Amino acid sequence: MKNVSAIFGSMVFNEAAMKERLPKDTYKALKKTIESGQYLDDSIADVVANAMKDWAIEKGATHFTHWFQPMTGITAEKHDGFISPKDDGSMIMEFSGKELVRGEPDASSFPSGGLRATFEARGYTAWDPTSFAFIKDGVLCIPTAFCSYGGEALDKKTPLLRSMDVINKQALRILKLFGNTDATRVNATMGPEQEYFLIDQADFMKRRDLVYTGRTLFGAKPPRGQELDDHYFGAIKPRVAAFMNELNEELWKLGIFAKTQHNEVAPAQHELAPVFTNSNVATDHNQLTMEMMKKVAIRHDLTCLLHEKPFDGVNGSGKHNNWSISTNTGLNLLDPGTSPRENAQFLLFLVSVIKAVDKYQDLLRISVATAGNDHRLGANEAPPAIVSIFLGEELTAIVESIESGSAYSQKSSENMTIGVDVLPKFPKDNTDRNRTSPFAFTGNKFEFRMVGSASSIAGPNMILNTIVADVLSEFADKLEKSANFTEELNKLIKDTITEHKHIIFNGNNYSDEWVVEAEKRGLSNLKTTVDALPKLVDDKNVALFTKFGVLSESEVHSRYEINLENYVKTINIEALTMVEMANKEIIPAVVSYMKVLSDTAAQKKAVSDAISVEFETALLEKLSALVAGAYEKAGALEAVIEGIEASGDVTAQATYVKDQVLPAMDALREKADALEPMVAKKYWPYPTYGELLFY
Ligand code: ADP
Ligand code: MG
C-alpha cells in the first residue's frame, strides 16, 4: 500500500512548500498576490524564482517551462534548461524572477483567428500565481496565461480568469445586500467527471483512423455491444485496475484530488472524478489529468481514447461539469442552507442561474460545440442539443408555489414566504435523479452535462461564470436601488420564475416528445456546431462579453473563426483518412480475399466440372458489387474533399463540410462496414469493434 499522504502534492510548489522555503515577507507578499491578483514586485519575484528552482532541482528537475493553454484546446510547453555558463567554463543553475513572471514563446503557429498578424507573431506568457507550479517529467511547469503583444488573449486561461473576477465582483454585491460582509471573495467552483475509453495499444496502432483522428471511421457493429448493461459499475479488470492505481498516484503527486473511479456504460469505458476546486485550478488539473491518462495508459500497453465518440453505436464520452459558487468563508451559495435568510439568498442565486441559462442557451450550446461532440449531442446517450434545466420535483414545487402564491405542498396549506419560512432539505443523492438533463441541479451545485470528453473545460466555465455574473449584476442594480429590499427581492424572484420557467424540464430529455415540446416552448435547438457557432458573434453575446471585459469584440470574432476552422480541419482529416484506408487497406483486402475465392473455384473446375462453385460465385458476386461501391464512394468522397477550399470563407467551408463531406463519409462507411463481416478475418486489415472493445 502506498503512503498517499507522503505522495500527495509532492511535485507541487504549493503553500506548504512556499511557507517552508520562502522568507516570511516574501511568502506574505506572494500570498497577497495570489489572493488579490496584485502585481508582484520584481525583487520578490527573484526570491520566489530562486526558491522554486532550488526546490525543483532537489526533486530532479533540470528544465523549466511556461505551461499554457493555446486555442488548440491542449496544453503547450517549451523547455528551457536552468543551466547557465560561467566565465571559467563551468556552469550554474539559474532561474530569475523575470523568467518566472514572463516568457516569450515563439508563438506564431498557434491559432489566433486573425488576432495576430504574422509580422507581429510574438506573444508572451504571463505567470498565473493562482495555480501552483509543478514538476512533470523533470520539468518545472509554471502555469501561465498567453497573450499577444497587444494584450489580446490567445489562450483559454485568460478569459476564464477574467470571468472568475467578474462573477466574484457581482456575487459579492449580492451578498452585501443580504448583510454578508465576512466574505471577501466568491469563487466559481468546478469538479469535472472525466469519461474515457481504454483499448489495447497494439490494436490502436493497427487502425489509422484511431491514430490520426482518435475515433473509428469504419467498423461494423459487433455481435455483442453494451446491451447487457453489465459493464456499468462492474468489477474492474486487473489490467485496468493497475492502470487506475498508477494514474491515481501520478495525479496525487501533482496535487490532483482524483477520488472516484468506476466503469462506465459502454464496454472498455471508465470514469474518473476529482474533488472540486476553483474553476481555474480545476481546468489546469483536468488538462493534466487527460495528459496523464494517455501517458499512463501507454505504460500498460493500453491507449486512452478521450474522443467524444470513438465507436459508432456505442456510448460516447462526456465530461460532467459540476459547477457552483462559494465564498472564501466556505459558504456554498447554491446550498439552500437552513435559515430563512440563507434560503432567500439561495433562491436569488438559483433564479439567477435559471435566468442566465435561459437567456444564454445559445452560448452554453456553443461552449460545447466541436466536430467530435456533434456525434454525441442528440444521439442516444447524451443530452440533446436543447438546453434545459432539471430542478427535481421538490424544488420545482417550491418554485411553482412562489410563482403562483399558492400552497407549496399537499402537506401544508400555507404558501412559502421568502425570507420567513424555511425550505425543506433537498436530497442530494436521490436515486431517481434525472440523468438525461443537460443542466441538472444536484443538491448544492449544477451539473452541466453537455461538455465533450476531449474538450478543455475552460470555455464552458468561462461562459457559465459570465452569464451568471450578468444576471447577478442586473439583480444587484435593481436591489441596490430599491427602497424596500424584501419586497423587491420577492418580486424579483417571482418575476424571474414567471419569465424563465419554460427552461425548466424534469422529464426525459432523450424522448422525441421533448424535442416537440421544447420547440413549442420556444427553446433553441442548435443541432450541429455549424448551426451553433455563428450565434457567438450575435450582438447580445458580444455585448455581454465586452460589458464585463471577459472578451473584447475582436477576441470574440477570433474565437468564432478558430472554432469553425477547427471544425473544418477535423472533418477534413477524417475524410482524408477514410479515403486512404479505403484505397490502401480495405479495397486491397477485399481483392485479396476475392482472389482466393476465384482461385479456389478455378482449381475445383480444373479437378472436375462436376464440383459446384456456386458458393464461391455467389460470394464473389456480392463482394464484387460491394467493393465496386466502396471504390466509387471513395472516389466521390475524394472529389468532395477537393471542393472544401473553393467553397468560400471559413463559414462557407464549415457549411460545405457539414452538408457535403459528412454524408459522403457516411456513404463510404456503409459499403466498408457491409464488407467487413463477409471477408475472412485473416484478410481484414484492422481490428474490429468486437476485438477493440472486448480485448
Ligand atoms: P455524482 O454526480 O457522480 O453522483 P457527486 O455529486 O458526488 O457525484 O460529485 C460529482 C462531482 O461534483 C465531483 O467531482 C465533485 O467534486 C463535484 N462537486 C461536488 N460539490 C461541488 C461544488 N460545490 N462545486 C463544484 N463541484 C462540486
Ligand atoms: Mg455526476
Helix (H/G/I), strand (E/B), else coil: 596: helix
Q: Which three cell numbers stand for residue 390?
A: 432539471
Span 585-631, pLDDT tens digits: 999 999 999 999 999 999 999 999 999 999 999 999 999 999 999 99
Q: Per-residue pLDDT averaged across 67-87, rounded?
A: 89
Ordered domains of the chain (ranges, CATH) = 4-155 (3.10.20.70), 163-551 (3.30.590.10), 566-693 (1.20.120.1560)
Question: Which of 276, 283, 429, 457 for a ligand 1 pocket mutation test, highest count of atoms within 8 Å of Cβ?
Answer: 276
Q: How far is the CA of 2 from the centre of ligand 2 (A)?
A: 28
Share of the chain above pLDDT 70, in %: 93
**Which atom of ligand 1 is nearest to 324's Cα?**
24
Q: How far is the CA of 447 from the centre of ligand 1 (A)?
A: 8
pLDDT at position 419: 75
Tell which residue, 627, 653, 649, has the closest CA to residue 640: 653
| Pairing label, strands 269-274, 186-200 | antiparallel
pLDDT at position 149: 82
pLDDT at position 428: 60
CA 118 – CA 133 distance, rounded (Å): 31
pLDDT at position 407: 67
CB-based pocket (< 6 A), ligand 1: 189-191, 193, 273-276, 322-324, 332, 442, 444-445
Q: How far is the CA of 444 from the centre of ligand 1 (A)?
A: 9
Q: How far is the CA of 446 from the centre of ligand 1 (A)?
A: 9
Q: Which ligand is nearest to the CA of 435?
A: 2
Statement: residue 89 has pLDDT above 60? yes
pLDDT at position 354: 98
Q: Per-residue pLDDT averaged across 437-463, rounded?
A: 95
Amino acid present at 564 = L
Q: Which ligand is nearest to the CA of 464?
A: 1
Using an 8 Å Cβ cutoff, are 389 and 354 in contact? Answer: yes
Q: How far is the CA of 103 from the centre of ligand 2 (A)?
A: 38
84 falls in which pLDDT band (50, 70, 90)?
confident
CA 439 – CA 683 distance, rounded (Å): 47
Residue 585 contacts by C-beta under 8 Å, 6 or more apart in sequence?
Answer: 208, 685, 686
pLDDT at position 429: 53
Share of the chain above pLDDT 90, in %: 75
Q: Which ligand is nearest to the CA of 437?
A: 2
CA 355 – CA 334 distance, rounded (Å): 15
CA 17 – CA 172 distance, rounded (Å): 31
Q: Say how many CA atoms lie within 13 Å of 423 toward its Cβ.
A: 26
Q: Whose CA is nearest to atom 14 of ligand 1?
A: 191
Q: Which ligand is nearest to the CA of 274?
A: 1
Name residues with Cβ closer than 5 Å to ligand 2, which is an ion. Answer: 320
Question: Judging by beta carbons within 10 Å of its beta carbon (0-12, 13-18, 19+), is residue 428 exposed, middle or buried?
Answer: exposed
Average pLDDT over all residues of the chain: 91
**Which atom of ligand 1 is nearest to 443's Cα?**
6
Using an 8 Å Cβ cutoff, are 65 and 161 in contact? Answer: no
Phi, psi of 521 (to 5 degrees): -75, -10
Amino acid present at 343 = N
Select the more confidently predicted residue: 299 or 268.
299
Q: Which three cell numbers stand for residue 623?
A: 463482394
Q: Per-residue pLDDT averaged across 15-30, rounded?
A: 94
pLDDT at position 237: 82
pLDDT at position 120: 59
118 falls in which pLDDT band (50, 70, 90)?
very low
Q: How far is the CA of 322 from the centre of ligand 1 (A)?
A: 6
Statement: residue 119 has pLDDT above 90? no
**Which atom of ligand 1 is nearest to 429's Cα?**
4
Span 497-534, pLDDT tens digits: 999 999 999 999 988 899 999 999 999 999 999 999 99
Range of weakest confidence among 127-136, 197-206, 268-277, 336-345: 336-345
CA 605 – CA 598 distance, rounded (Å): 11
Helix (H/G/I), strand (E/B), else coil: 35: helix
| Strand partners of residue 504 | 389
Q: How far is the CA of 320 from the centre of ligand 2 (A)?
A: 6
Q: Which helix (H) or strand (E) holds 633?
A: helix 614-642
Instruction: Give start and end residues of each alpha helix (H) in 305-452.
Output: 340-359, 361-366, 371-374, 393-404
Helix (H/G/I), strand (E/B), else coil: 219: coil
Q: Whose CA is nearest to atom 11 of ligand 1?
A: 191
Statement: residue 253 has pLDDT above 70? yes
**Which atom of ligand 1 is nearest to 326's Cα?**
23
635 falls in which pLDDT band (50, 70, 90)?
very high
Q: Per-residue pLDDT averaged across 145-162, rounded?
A: 92
pLDDT at position 514: 93
Q: How far is the CA of 366 from the centre of ligand 1 (A)?
A: 23
Residue 643 contacts by C-beta under 8 Å, 6 or more apart in sequence?
Answer: 656, 660
Q: How far is the CA of 533 from the centre of ligand 1 (A)?
A: 29
**Which atom of ligand 1 is nearest to 274's Cα?**
14
Question: Which of 277, 445, 457 for a ligand 1 pocket mutation test, highest count of atoms within 8 Å of Cβ?
Answer: 445
- The helices-and-strands tally (H runs, E runs) of the chain is 25, 17
Sign, CA torsion 637/638/639/643: positive
pLDDT at position 431: 42
CA 354 – CA 593 distance, rounded (Å): 60
Q: How far is the CA of 24 from the centre of ligand 1 (A)?
A: 36
CA distances from 278 to 333, 441, 548 (A): 14, 19, 20
pLDDT at position 263: 81
Q: Cell 468489477, residue? A: 235
Using an 8 Å Cβ cutoff, are 93 and 106 in contact? Answer: no
Range of weakest confidence among 60-74, 391-405, 545-559: 391-405
Contacts 24+ apart (CB under 8 A), 12-20: 12/132, 12/133, 12/134, 12/135, 12/253, 12/254, 12/255, 13/52, 13/55, 13/56, 13/132, 13/133, 13/134, 13/140, 14/132, 14/255, 17/55, 18/51
Question: Which of 190, 251, 322, 434 for a ligand 1 pocket mutation test, highest count of atoms within 8 Å of Cβ?
Answer: 322
Question: Judging by beta carbons within 10 Å of its beta carbon (0-12, 13-18, 19+), is residue 483 exposed, middle or buried?
Answer: exposed
427 falls in which pLDDT band (50, 70, 90)?
low
